[in-house]
Amino acid sequence: MARRGYTLLLWLLLPWVVLHLLSRSRRQPEYRCHWGERFGRYGARRPAPCIWIHAVSVGETRAAQPLVAALKRWYPDRRILLTHMTPTGRRVGEELFGTTVDQAYLAYDYPHAVGRFLAHWQPAFGVIVETELWPNLIAACRARGVPVFLANARLSEKSARRYRRFSALSRSTLCALSGIAAQAQADAARLEALGAPRVEVFGNIKFDLPLPEERIALGLHFRALIGSRPTFVCASTREGEEALLLDAWQSLRGGNSLLILVPRHPQRFDAVAALVGERGLRLQRRSDNRPVDPATDVWLGDSMGEMTAYYTAADVAFIGGSLLDFGSQNLIEACAAGCPVLLGPSTYNFAQAAADALAEGAARQMDSAEKLVEAALALLPDQASRSAMSEAGRAFAERHRGATERTVAWIRASLSRAGR
C-alpha cells in the first residue's frame, strides 16, 4: 500500500521531473543528453548477465573504484554496468574506467522504466554504493530474483529523520535488499531502527582508494607553479562557503600566503571567480597553467578530478561542505596525501572518519570561517605541527584500509548461500 502511494506521487511529479531536467540543463548542458535512459530506454543490448553497480554521483563513483577492481578479479567473464544519476558522476566514471565498464543513467523509479532497465541489462546482481534507495527498483529486483546489496552504507541522523517520515515504505524497501554493509556502527544502528533485518559493519571503502601517481606528479607541478609560498587549499567548497572564507582570508591574512579555492561543482567556477573579484582580490585560474604570480591572492582550482594534486601541492587543507550544513566532503583523500586537515562543524556525511581523524591527530575542527583561517595561518609557518599532522593522516588512512575485500567476500558468501 505504501509503495502504491509512493508510485502515484511519482506520476503526479512527472511534469516537475521534466522541468527539473530542463532547469538543470541551463547550467549543465549534459542534463539534456540521454533522456531515454532516465526512462528505461537504452541502446544495443550488451551480453548478459552483467554485474550492476549504482554510484549516484561523483563521490560514490570514486568510491566504487576498488569495488569495481575487486569484482573484476572475482568475476573476470562478466561485464560491469555502472549507473549514475548525475552528469558529473558519469563523466568521472568515463575518466576512471574508460570503456572497461558499461555506463548509463539509472532509470527513474517508475515501474515501467525500472522494468525496461532490468530487462535490457539483465544484471546477475546489483550493488548500490552508499545509500540511495529506490523502492520500485528494489521491489522489481526482488520479484525477478536479482539480489541487490547496499554496500558502504551510511545514514546520518538527518537522513534517518527523513526516512522515518515514510517508515512503512522504508522498512519494506530495506527488507527487500539481499544484504546491507554499513560504514560504521552508528550507521548500522540507524538502518536497523528503520527496519533493516541485519546490517554488517565493514568500514569505509573510501580508505581503499589509491592515490593516482599521475595526480601526485601533477601536484608537484602545481607546487612548482606556486613556488615557495605557504599555501592553504579550500577543497570541494559548497555554495555559501567561499564568501565566508574569502572574507576571513581578506581580513586575517598576512605575508605572502596563497589561498586555493576548489569549488565542488564545476558549474560554479565562474561564480566563485566573481566573488574573488568583488573583494578586489587578484585571481588566477588553474586552467591557465601558468606560474602563479607573487601578487596573486587566490588561485582558482577550476578543474575536475585533480583533488589529489591540490592536496599534494598545499601545506594545509580545509574540507569543504563542513563549514555550512552540508555534512562535509571526503577528508580521507587529504589525510592519505599527508595534507593536514581542518574541518568545520558539519561532518555528518563522514561522522566516523572525522571523529577518528580528530582523535588520531590528523585533523582539527573549528566552528567558524574566521577560526578556520586563523588555524590555517597558524599552521602554515609551523613545520613541526604540520609534519605531525601529516604523519598522523597517512597512518590514519592506512589503518582503516580493507573494507573493500571484506565487502566483496560478504557478497560472494551471500550469493553462494543463495546458490548463485
User: Residue 16 is which amino acid?
Assistant: W
Which residue's entry shows cell 589529489?
Answer: 308
Taking every pair of Cα atoms in the chain, the longest distance, rounded to a whole number of angstroms, is: 66
- 47: helix, coil or strand? coil
60 is catalytic: yes
User: Residue 383 is which amino acid?
Assistant: Q
Check if the beta carbon of residue 130 is closer than 8 Å to that of residue 56: yes
Q: Nearest 5°: phi and psi at 391?
A: -65, -40
DSSP label of 328:
-
Which helix (H) or strand (E) is 128 found in, with range?
A: strand 123-129
Helix ranges (DSSP H) in 98-240: 111-121, 135-143, 157-164, 167-176, 185-193, 213-226
CA atoms of 228 and 63, how far apart (whole Å): 33
Among candidate residues 244, 272, 262, the one with its CA nearest the CA of residue 345: 244
Among the listed residues 60, 130, 242, 333, the single catalytic one is 60
Please, what is the Cα angle at 386 between 380 and 387, to 5 degrees? 140
The number of C-alpha atoms within 13 Å of 345 and in the hemisphere containing its C-beta is 7
Question: Which triple of cell numbers denotes residue 66?
Answer: 576498488
Which residue's entry shows cell 509512493?
Answer: 6
Which helix (H) or strand (E) is 54 found in, with range?
A: strand 50-54
Query: Catalytic residue numbers?
Result: 60
